[in-house]
Chains A and B, each alone.
Chain A
């Protein structure tokens, strides 16, 4: 770790935190229906959308109606993405003449994008037509993110309002999230990315001459290189901002056309966390106490920095097997050093490890280096970040409602310890809320562990583990199910996952991990909104203090560690001991 590495990491975190307040207060205005500088352009569009779709924007929904609206919208979206892939051969904008996607892969991808996971069983440039990428995948990138944000806002309303029924209108929250927040930011980010060299074109793939002709695997002489291009920048902007993560090309943001320069890399990493971070501030504004938002943001940042340090240290340390062969892995001003397998030269170690931590803190899952080739402890970091439940920043919206489930648990446990009725922001936390919050914590854990267990027993699950020898194959399977069960979408990509077994099993995990969490989150909102507001008394635990932050971190780490340390011990931890024996 030299000074440049340190400075880049610190610079990233500082910029991220500096943006929380301005973007967070803007989003609070959007959700509270206040005037914004975009009104002149967008209010007429918004009205038109409501009129066409028969939405009464003033209509307040109870939590059940809200949940029904969420589910209907998401199921329709899922069906559309499925249909587009199956029919892409006969649809327009398919200059490479790509055929229909297989049924299991289409199901997996449809669930994957509707649930904001963006696990990719397929390789973009050889599977998806431009039409499928745009009308299927890009659209879901927007609306799945907006769905998460809407549910989050509904939960905040449940906390803020009292002795009421309604938690807002899903169609309004969906529309305003997309129009006022995601779309304007995406346009800015997309153009910034194109300026760095991200492609944005509808032309067919380009053919260029090779300087030195080579021979391919079959011994044929190759004199040309075909460059896959496409309308990538517009999709990448929202893939990052919406914590989606599905790449335009197979290797995602390691591909030079998706992420050509260190600056494009910085923009993309910032885009991954900026909305989730700022939503903490929005939360603070809406509950009338910004300290509450900062407390959560600080909790997230501390956990992320701790694991980031581990990842950077592990990767910069390099692979002892390479050193034994005489390879120079010592970092200098002219040599990135460290474990460069699966990493790009322009990003080096620091930016690859930072990205890996960031993308798994958020439920983003895009990659700029191959996590599968990380050192054992370097790979443990993204794996464990996902297993914590995607709440360290987390997905847009979903990260914060997941974190609030942990807050409820933390408040409840501390209430039990001092023998007082637990309360949070003036609302009593009772058995019902606690049950729902526990479901939100336990369902992803259950899906990840049961899924892994089945896959490492079933012959179909074992058949496509290519990294045999040592515990790495187990880590790959654990990673796949942890990723799907927390709607992340990144992979230890050495696992052959584009087959009926994994496409189906991971699709099921992604589906339940998303919607079985949204429903309890809305149920908590529906329960809290009916309660009276209790004034804070002498027995109330303040939830913005350093003490509470430390307590919350403790609860998160204990739940995560108790759930996954045994599984991690069989994978990356034993592998570490074998590599460094």
Chain B
């Protein structure tokens, strides 16, 4: 038994150095050179100022902006979380109803069915995307709030739609922050 003490101690020490220090440092070094933007958070820079990350959603509830997925943490990126409500939890059903009411009161004439991703909290609380259906649902509201035609807004939605990756992976989706930045840039 005691003959295994020395290897146990030194093996742990050596692998702490190799896998805990050298490995992450090497990956960081290579990543910073090859993928400087991605490795630092894919920040969106406008006029030299970081206005967000294209991967992290922001909270929107102004009618003139597209709204993102509901977030259980108010898009607090230092406390990522979903709601973790079970499917029968009254709090879940209340939240969904409140979101439906908010969407309807902001756009009373809208008769489109409400897509499910627009009233359910995302897993991370930071989801940067909504489905195409969720974006199209909001076109009427955004267009009237900004005095734009629905065609103009729809064409912007199409511009910021990301298809399935490589044509088949994942779901087609719209990046909410990028779309809203583009709306503000229209003027």
Contacts and interface: CB of A to CB of B under 8 A. Distances in A.
B170 A265 contact: yes
Given A206-B50, A351-B170, A370-B84, A212 B132 contact: no
A456 interface: no
Contacts of B1: 68, 72
Given A234-B23, A328-B114, A139 B51 contact: no
Contact of B117 (A143, A207, A340, A578): A340
A171 B18 CA distance: 16
Given A196-B38, A208-B52, A250 B27 contact: no
B24 A342 contact: no
A226 B76 CA distance: 7
A183 B19 contact: yes
Determine which residue in A335, A339, A341 has the highest number of CB atoms from chain B within 10 A of its CB, and name it. A341
A228 B124 CA distance: 13
Contact of B85 (A141, A191, A205, A467): A467
Contacts of B20: 134-136, 138-139
A261 B165 contact: yes
A135 B16 contact: yes
B28 interface: yes
Contacts of B38: 194-199
A296 B74 CA distance: 46
Given A134-B21, A197-B38, A203-B40, A469 B89 contact: yes
Interface residues of B, number: 105
B87 A494 contact: no
Interface residues of A, number: 133
A229 B28 CA distance: 13
A225 B80 CA distance: 13
A11 B82 contact: no
A333 interface: yes
Contacts of B133: 328, 332, 334-335
B78 to A, nearest CB: 5
A322 B7 contact: no
A233 B24 CA distance: 9
Interface in A248-272: 249-251, 254-257, 260-263, 265-266
Contacts of A235: 24
Contact of B82 (A49, A225, A254): A254
B93 to A, nearest CB: 6
Interface in A189-233: 190-191, 194-203, 205-212, 214, 216-217, 225-229, 231, 233
A436 to B, nearest CB: 22
A254 B65 CA distance: 25
Interface stretch (A286-294, A373-381, A412-420, A514-522): A373-381
B79 A80 contact: no
B11 interface: yes
B143 interface: no
B173 interface: yes
Interface stretch (A52-60, A389-397, A425-433, A502-510): A52-60
Contacts of B124: 251, 254-256, 344
22 contacts: A54-B6, A54-B7, A80-B12, A143-B12, A186-B23, A187-B27, A194-B39, A200-B39, A201-B41, A202-B28, A211-B177, A211-B180, A256-B53, A257-B56, A322-B119, A328-B113, A343-B123, A344-B123, A348-B171, A466-B84, A467-B85, A472-B88
Interface of A: 4, 7-8, 11, 49, 52-55, 65, 68-69, 72-73, 76-77, 80, 123, 125-126, 134-136, 138-139, 141-143, 171, 174-175, 178-179, 183, 186-187, 190-191, 194-203, 205-212, 214, 216-217, 225-229, 231, 233-235, 237-238, 249-251, 254-257, 260-263, 265-266, 318-319, 321-322, 325-329, 332-348, 351-352, 367-370, 372-376, 466-467, 469-470, 472, 475-476, 492-494, 575, 578-579
| Nearest 5 CB-CB pairings of A with B | A262-B170, A53-B10, A254-B123, A494-B84, A472-B86
